[in-house]
Chains A and B, each alone.
Chain A
């Protein structure tokens, strides 16, 4: 089946129905397991890229957890998102080693360049910025990771200029500049 072209994570209508089919498979597998809620939410987010309202409703219907409880769990953990993210997710490490090696200057540079703050997405849905606690690559500090649906690349020893160059490289790849 031909996919509709779209630069965001929002699935096209064909994918949408298959996504719900996948969700039902997950629910089937885990609905009776003790302590299943977080596992189901993690898998649902993998399928949809975030947790749309209808998905939460569906999980509630099948598992019997109230929507209020699900919402409580979703908002407690940093991993869960209620809004879609951009095509490129920038995970900027704010661990101690990155902090003492200048991660703040990197954040300022990225925020200035993209015009967004932590946890926000650019209007063209290309970039989302997320500050994270520690990526565990402390020897390469300051570090960031760029995630797409397919890839996961870590970049180390950043400077404000090299961070912006990374963004430009992606824009060039996307034919935007």
Chain B
């Protein structure tokens, strides 16, 4: 018997460490010899902490929501009396969350122990590396990757094979492989999950990129906000070096490759290629004018392969299954799978991986279990601060790079935030604009000043000062920023605004013309009124009102002066007769 406790960041936040410790305690108290190991995140974040118990014949029993107080019960019935405790076992809906997926990059996440290289090796780990070292030339590796139609998973979707070929063909002898693990999109955590759950897979991808392009040094640029990912990467690098998969003379092939970790210091713009390399060089992370491109002059002015975590994690699988087989997954020119972080107002939140071209309907309703609390589906925000909104009209749109580009959205890094009928689209647009405005590095005027003005315009609408002209100005300015900003962050910054205006024009108009926020989320549009008949004139609301907006004499219905009212809600909380209504 073997016990695995899922300990990705989300599992730990749900109390998985305590759960694991309690299992270990019980085992010791009963003088048993059962290993309690860690594993990464299987993606079922809403069911954490998750405990997998493997019986001696290899059968898996997956227990969900094993809070510390549930440990003893499960331990006694399953471990001591060999009767699996039914009510905590994964339910049908939890299993269908997994069954509807195709896991390539996340294949091992939540199943193997990320701190044991042997677990990875037992699951075909480093076989792709030995295959390319034994049988492939540099050109052949690039060709397999090109033929597979693998495209960069970081957002842009640039063909990975073509990038590698371009770096390989540079005359300069010093080259670098850089892994972009600066997953800064709020609401995206697939790269974190790979690093925490299966770090060797991306290391193997990076080493293969080194062989293909003739680079001998790799850098991983990872967010400092991901301490667990960093710790597991360090362990993985040490173990890979020990067994000769990394370092000098890899697997006796004569090829040397080393990987260093650089911690990001909290700047979203560093996800952009030239800003990222500037940051590794110890500079302010500001993008520069291109050309020259990163493949010609990247890190330390040398030719550089720059891919993200998920892209590198796909590489070993492409090599092992071959280009033709890989291409069969997904849609034409959009091969393979994509990992999405499914969050927001959806029942089953978590991390999923599906073939490119899967529809939104499958993701939200079949895998995600539909919208929370029986509310109706309003929109999904895809691609974070650079992406756009998709609506019920797009439910049957295949999600891949090309079809999303056609409707003005993008996959981005793969954050999918589901929003229900109660979400105000203007305030969502404002949320993203506030994010990009704060993260703008300030180098180019369109982004530095433009995002600031766009935010002010959105504030005008949210705070009930907007007119139709405000919407027009937003669109105009958005267009200009998109056309003139220096880097990808700036160019795509207006996307959430433009896309919400396009898809939800009526909601914007309701704010600026109709004078109401249809969802009631924008405070400035709320009106507080006293219902006659319910009010007994006790005067409590008058006493708590901080701006003296309420008047009335004792035992008579009170009134609220809407001009003075600051909508602080104190009166509603104070009233014992539910006599104050918000409209």
A interface residues (Cβ-Cβ under 8 A, vs B): 34-39, 41-42, 72-73, 76-80, 94-97, 99-101, 132-141, 143, 152, 154-156
Give Cα A156 to B189, complex, Å: 16
A154 lies within 8 A of B12 (CB): yes
> Does B525 reach chain A (CB closer than 8 Å)?
no
Contact call B265/A38, Cβ cutoff below 8 A:
yes
- Cα separation A138 to B43 with both chains bound (whole Å): 11
Assuming A35-B300, A97-B343, is B415 touching A137 (CB within 8 A)?
no
Contact indicator A100/B265 (Cβ below 8 Å): no
Given A35-B280, A97-B344: A136 in contact with B265 (beta carbons within 8 A) = no
List 21 A-B pairs, Cβ < 8 Å.
A38-B282, A41-B265, A42-B263, A77-B285, A79-B265, A96-B343, A96-B384, A97-B343, A97-B349, A99-B431, A100-B417, A100-B423, A133-B435, A136-B192, A137-B13, A138-B10, A138-B343, A140-B10, A143-B13, A155-B13, A156-B14
Given A96-B384, A136-B189, verify A78-B417 contact (CB < 8 Å): no
Q: In the assembly, what is the distance between CA of A74 and CA of B135, in Å?
A: 48
Does B279 sit within 8 A of A, measured CB to CB? yes
**Closest residue of chain B to A157, judged by CB?**
B14
Q: Which of B136-144, B179-187, B473-481 contacts A (4 or more CB under 8 A)?
A: B179-187
Report chain B residues within 8 Å CB of A96. 186-187, 343-344, 381, 384, 415, 417, 431-432
Q: Indicate with 1 or 0, residue by residue over B46-72, a CB within 8 angstroms of chain A CB atoms.
A: 101000000000000000000000000
A139 to B349, CA, bound (A): 5
B419 within 8 A of A: yes
With A35-B300, A143-B13 already in contact, the answer to whether A134 and B417 are too (CB < 8 A) is: no
Closest 7 CB pairs of A and B: A139-B45, A78-B266, A37-B282, A77-B265, A95-B186, A96-B187, A154-B13
Cα-based distance from A17 to B45 in the complex (angstroms): 45
Residues on the B chain within 8 Å of A79, using CB: 224, 265-266
Provided the pairs A76-B285, A100-B344, A100-B417 are in contact, do residues A137 and B300 lie with their beta carbons within 8 angstroms?
no
A139, B10: Cβ atoms under 8 Å? yes
B211 interface contact, C-beta 8 A = no
CA distance A119 to B14 in the complex (A): 27
Which positions in B face A, CB cutoff 8 Å? Answer: 9-10, 12-14, 45-46, 48, 184-189, 192, 224-227, 262-263, 265-268, 279-286, 300, 341, 343-345, 349-350, 381, 384, 415, 417, 419, 423, 428, 431-432, 435, 441
Interface centre among B186, B188, B268, B283 (most CB of A within 10 A): B186
How far is it, in angstroms, between the C-alpha of A143 and the C-alpha of B281 when the chains are bound?
Answer: 33
Cβ A138 vs Cβ B45 within 8 A = yes
Asked whether B381 lies within 8 Å of A77 as measured between CB atoms, the reply is: no
Given A39-B282, A132-B225, residue A34 in contact with residue B349 (CB < 8 A): no
Closest to B188 in A: A134
Which of B227, B262, B343, B344 lies at the interface centre, i.e. has the most chain A CB atoms within 10 A of its CB?
Answer: B343
Please state if B349 and A138 are interface contacts (CB–CB under 8 Å): yes
**Which of B10, B284, B285 is in CB contact (< 8 Å) with A137?**
B10
User: A64 vs B280: C-alpha distance in the bound complex, in angstroms?
Assistant: 18
B-side contacts of A152, CB under 8 Å:
227
A77: chain B residues within 8 A (beta carbon): 265-267, 285
A39-B282, A139-B45 given; A156·B13 CB < 8 A: yes
Measured between alpha carbons, how far is A120 from B327 in the docked complex, in Å? 52
B281:A35 contact, CB within 8 angstroms: yes
| Set of chain A residues within 8 Å of B9, measured between Cβ atoms | 135-137, 154
Q: Which residues of A contact B423 (CB under 8 A)?
A: 100
Query: Contacts of A39 on B, CB cut-off 8 Å?
Result: 262-263, 282
Knowing A35-B300, A76-B284, A99-B431, the reply to whether A135 touches B225 (Cβ < 8 A) is yes
Residue from B46, B188, B345 having most chain A Cβ neighbours under 10 A: B188
Q: Could you say which residues of chain B place their CB within 8 Å of the CB of A97?
A: 186-187, 343-344, 349, 417
Q: Which B residues are in CB contact (< 8 Å) with A134?
A: 184-189, 225
Complex interface: chain A residues within 8 A of B279 (CB): 38
Contacts of A156 in B (CB 8 A): 13-14
Residue of A nearest to B13 (CB): A154
Please determine whether B12 and A141 come into contact, CB atoms closer than 8 angstroms: no
- How many Å lie between the Cα of A37 and that of B285 in the bound state? 12
Q: Which residues in B have their C-beta under 8 angstroms from that of A76?
A: 267, 284-286, 441
A101 to B344 CA separation, bound complex (whole angstroms): 7
Residues of B within 8 A of A36 (CB): 282
Give CA–CA (A77, B285) in the complex, Å: 8
Q: Is the CB of A35 within 8 A of B282?
A: yes
**Which chain B residues lie closer than 8 Å to A73 at the CB level?**
282-284
Query: In angstroms, how far is the closest chain A Cβ from the Cβ of B378?
Result: 11
- Which residues from chain A contact B285 at a C-beta distance below 8 Å? 76-77
A141–B343 touching, CB < 8 Å: yes
A140 and B8 alpha carbons, distance in the complex (Å)? 13
Q: Which residues on B sit within 8 Å (CB–CB) of A139?
A: 10, 45-46, 48, 343, 349-350
Chain A residues with Cβ under 8 A from B343's Cβ? Answer: 96-97, 138-139, 141
Chain B min CB distance to A79 (Å): 4
Given A36-B282, A136-B10, check contact A42 B186 (CB 8 Å): no
Q: A38 — nearest CB in chain B belongs to which residue?
A: B282
Contact call A100/B345, Cβ cutoff below 8 A: yes
Set of chain B residues within 8 Å of A80, measured between Cβ atoms: 265
- Cβ of A131 to closest chain B Cβ, rounded Å: 9
- B276 to chain A: closest CB distance in Å? 12
B186–A140 touching, CB < 8 Å: no
Taking CB atoms, residues of chain B closer than 8 Å to A132 are 225
Shortest beta-carbon distance from A144 to chain B in Å: 10
**Contact A140 B187, beta carbon cutoff 8 Å:** no
Question: In the assembled complex, how far is the CB of residue B412 from the closest CB belonging to chain A, in whole angstroms?
Answer: 12
**Bound: A154/B13 CA distance, A:** 5
How far apart sit A80 and B12, CA to CA, in the bound complex (Å)? 26
CA separation between A78 and B185, bound complex, in Å? 15
Known: A73-B282, A133-B435. A138 touches B187 (CB 8 A): yes
Assembled-state Cα–Cα distance A38/B275 (Å): 14
A127 shortest CB reach to chain B, Å: 20
A141 surroundings in chain B (CB, below 8 A): 343
A97 to B419, CA, bound (A): 9
Instruction: With CB as the reference atom, state the residue of chain B lying closest to A93.
Output: B186
Q: Which residues of B contact A99 (CB under 8 A)?
A: 186, 428, 431
**Residue numbers in A under 8 Å from B192 (CB-CB):** 136
* Cα distance A72–B345 in the bound complex, in angstroms: 40
Cβ distance B572 to chain A, nearest Cβ, rounded Å: 14
Q: A156 vs B343: C-alpha distance in the bound complex, in angstroms?
A: 14
Q: How far is the CA of A39 from the CA of B279 in the complex (A)?
A: 10
Closest Cβ–Cβ distance, residue A58 to chain B (whole Å): 17
Given A79-B224, A97-B417, A139-B46; 14 other pairs, CB 8 A cutoff: A36-B282, A73-B283, A73-B284, A78-B267, A80-B265, A96-B417, A97-B343, A100-B419, A133-B435, A134-B186, A138-B349, A139-B349, A152-B227, A154-B13
